């Protein structure tokens, strides 16, 4: 790979207050702990700490240069002085976007952004150099830094865009200036800040505000807000709207799928072409993500058949549905780790996967759920509303924590009840001691509910990885 940024290019993009000592940079970061040799370190002011306090450390660790807005003591190395480091990061991101010859896709939606983005990275990387946002780098810092990391030789660039509050998507979409924008779905996530689902739909549709000429909008054809989103996309000048889903009207359509606990066999019709493929991640929601990804692949002018074949290698990542077989007593337990995220759309999706996962001899289906956060006034109703999906999952013992899960607890039958605790730390021991060989245990909750503590307790109580 060639140099990501030369000092001349950085100087042209950032207009620093003084001339910059020559350097060549291979990366861009704002996290001093993650600084690699040759990175440009941006000293950003965070909520709790100011990056200027870490500049000296970053340079010692090998940063090629640090972008700062004031003097820093003890810093030995190249400093690039600018009036506003956050604005400078956005400027470098824009420069990265502007020089790129890549076909660019942006991904937003209430759930499934990272899953769809990572699936696209995986299938496109097999065809040409591809760059994608890391993790969920989807906010006012994550988007520009991802753009600033776009290598000049990338042929495809995939960027996740997220929001918690109104008005956040449009400026990010304008930075990304995508050729193809996909909205995975519109569901009541973060509804506490957004007021209504319609408001969420209107906000997501701002993805199309910043798209390039002749852009393609990829939309969930089955979602109740499809029409509203399509109207927005047209208004913002999309040249083509592509639907994905089960609907007969979808251009990227699921004809059938055989769901298994290790993945699915899918038959899809993508723009009239019948494609059969194996998908390596389990769950109906993943089948939807996969046709969304194939619709994006087509809109990026990449090879759809080759991409579909590569979907066999997709695996759900830790905290997002990754499955682990753990040794336990004389047998094994299977852990479905969804501890990273939860909302009223993704919990039922996970429960459907649990329902199809067969316990081994002598085992049961167990479930540990923590609160779904940011649901506003309707939070208790959303939690109580999970009762039917919980019953259909076949879970026979249910462990809950968090204040809102009390509402679900009230809806459980005495036979279903394991225990309800105030938080995940006090629940972890109950779950670990309830386990027995053969069990399948699913763990899910919003990140803030810290259900990883429960996952860690399960792993600690086991005899380690058993392999599949």
Ligand X SMILES: Nc1ncnc2c1ncn2[C@@H]1O[C@H](COP(=O)(O)OP(=O)(O)OP(=O)(O)O)[C@@H](O)[C@H]1O
Phi, psi of 87 (to 5 degrees): -65, -35
Give the interface segment with ligand X, choosing from 197-205, 281-289, 361-369, 418-426 (CB under 6 A).
281-289
* CB nearer to ligand X: pick between 69 and 116: 116
Number of residues that bind ligand X (CB under 6 A): 21
Instruction: Report whether 302 contacts 294 (CB < 8 A).
Output: no
CB atoms within 10 A of CB 37: 10
Contact between 289 and ligand X (CB under 6 A)?
Answer: yes
* CB nearer to Mg ion: pick between 304 and 347: 347
| Interactions with ligand X, residue window 1-30 (CB under 6 A) | none
Contact between 113 and ligand X (CB under 6 A)?
Answer: yes
Closest CA to 368 of 414, 434, 467: 434
| Interactions with ligand X, residue window 82-111 (CB under 6 A) | 109, 111
DSSP 73: T
Tokens at residue 60, please? 């010692």
* CB nearer to ligand X: pick between 155 and 225: 225
CA distance 225 to 202: 9
Query: Can you spell out the DSSP letters for 163-223?
Result: -SSTTSHHHHHHHH--SEEEE----SSSHHHH-SHHHHHHHHHGGGGGPPTT-EEEEETTS
Convert residues 137-156 into a mask of x (bound to ligand X by CB under 6 A) and - (unbound): -x------------------
Contact between 320 and Mg ion (CB under 5 A)?
Answer: no
CA distance 319 to 233: 33
What's the Cα-to-Cα distance from 17 to each of 53, 80, 91, rounded to whole Å?
21, 8, 15
| Interactions with ligand X, residue window 299-338 (CB under 6 A) | 320-321, 338
* CB nearer to ligand X: pick between 251 and 338: 338
CA distance 450 to 441: 17
| Interactions with Mg ion, residue window 88-117 (CB under 5 A) | 113-114
Tokens at residue 407, please? 């509402």
Among 176, 345, 352, 379, binds ligand X (CB under 6 A): 345
Instruction: Report whether 227 contacts 187 (CB < 8 A).
Output: no
CB closest to ligand X, residue no: 112
Q: What is the nearest approach in angstroms of ligand X to the Cβ of residue 384?
A: 20
| Interactions with Mg ion, residue window 126-155 (CB under 5 A) | 136
Contact between 455 and ligand X (CB under 6 A)?
Answer: no
Q: What is the nearest approach in angstroms of Mg ion to the Cβ of residue 297?
A: 20
CA distance 19 to 92: 17
Contact between 368 and ligand X (CB under 6 A)?
Answer: no
* CB nearer to ligand X: pick between 59 and 390: 390
Contact between 121 and Mg ion (CB under 5 A)?
Answer: no
Instruction: Report whether 244 contacts 271 (CB < 8 A).
Output: no
Tokens at residue 355, please? 């329902």
Contact between 184 and ligand X (CB under 6 A)?
Answer: yes
Within 300-339, strands assigned E span 322-328, 331-338
Q: What is the nearest approach in angstroms of ligand X to the Cβ of residue 320?
A: 4
Residue ranges in contact with ligand X by CB under 6 A: 109, 111-115, 136, 138, 162, 184-185, 285, 288-289, 320-321, 338, 341, 345-346, 349
Residue ranges in contact with Mg ion by CB under 5 A: 113-114, 136
């Amino acid at each position: 790979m060639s140099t990501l940024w030369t000092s001349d290019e950085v100087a042209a993009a950032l207009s620093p207050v003084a001339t910059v000592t020559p350097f060549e940079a291979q990366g861009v970061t704002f996290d001093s702990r993650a600084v690699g040799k040759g990175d440009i370190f941006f000293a950003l002011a965070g909520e709790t700490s100011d990056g200027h306090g870490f500049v000296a450390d970053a340079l010692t660790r090998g940063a090629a240069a640090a972008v700062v807005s004031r003097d820093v003591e003890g810093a030995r190395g190249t400093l690039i002085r600018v009036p506003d480091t956050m604005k400078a990061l956005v400027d470098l991101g824009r420069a990265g976007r502007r020089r790129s010859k890549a076909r660019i896709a942006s991904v937003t939606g209430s759930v499934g952004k990272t899953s769809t983005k990572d699936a696209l990275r995986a299938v496109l990387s097999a065809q040409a150099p591809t760059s994608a946002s890391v993790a969920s780098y989807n906010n006012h810092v994550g988007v520009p830094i991802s753009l600033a990391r776009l290598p000049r030789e990338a042929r495809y660039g995939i960027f996740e865009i997220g929001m918690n509050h109104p008005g956040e998507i449009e400026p990010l979409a304008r930075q990304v200036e995508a050729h193809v924008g996909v909205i995975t779905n519109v569901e009541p996530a973060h509804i506490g800040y957004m007021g209504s689902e319609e408001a969420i739909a209107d906000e997501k549709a701002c993805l199309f505000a910043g798209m390039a000429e002749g852009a393609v909008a990829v939309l969930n054809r089955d979602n109740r807000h499809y029409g509203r989103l399509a109207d927005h996309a047209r208004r913002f000048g999309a040249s083509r709207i592509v639907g994905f889903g089960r609907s007969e009207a979808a251009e990227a359509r699921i004809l059938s799928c055989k769901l298994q606990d290790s993945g699915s066999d899918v038959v899809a019709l993508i723009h009239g072409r019948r494609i059969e493929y194996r998908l390596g991640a389990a769950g109906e929601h993943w089948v939807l993500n996969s046709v969304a990804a194939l619709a994006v692949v087509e809109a990026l002018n990449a090879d759809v058949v080759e991409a579909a074949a590569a979907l066999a290698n997709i695996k759900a990542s830790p905290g997002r549905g990754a499955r682990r077989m753990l040794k336990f007593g004389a047998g094994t337990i299977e852990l479905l780790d969804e501890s990273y995220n939860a909302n009223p759309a993704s919990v039922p999706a996970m429960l459907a996967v649990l329902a199809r996962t067969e316990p081994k001899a002598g085992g049961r289906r167990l479930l540990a759920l923590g609160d779904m956060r940011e649901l506003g006034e309707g939070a208790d109703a959303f939690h109580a509303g999970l009762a039917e999906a919980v019953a259909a999952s076949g879970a026979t013992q249910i462990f809950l924590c968090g204040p809102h899960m009390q509402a679900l607890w009230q809806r459980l039958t005495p036979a279903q009840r394991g225990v309800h605790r105030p938080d995940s730390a006090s629940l972890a021991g109950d779950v670990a001691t309830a386990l027995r060989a053969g069990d399948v245990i699913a763990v899910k909750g919003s990140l803030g509910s810290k259900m990883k503590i429960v996952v860690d307790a399960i792993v600690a109580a086991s005899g380690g990885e058993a392999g599949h």
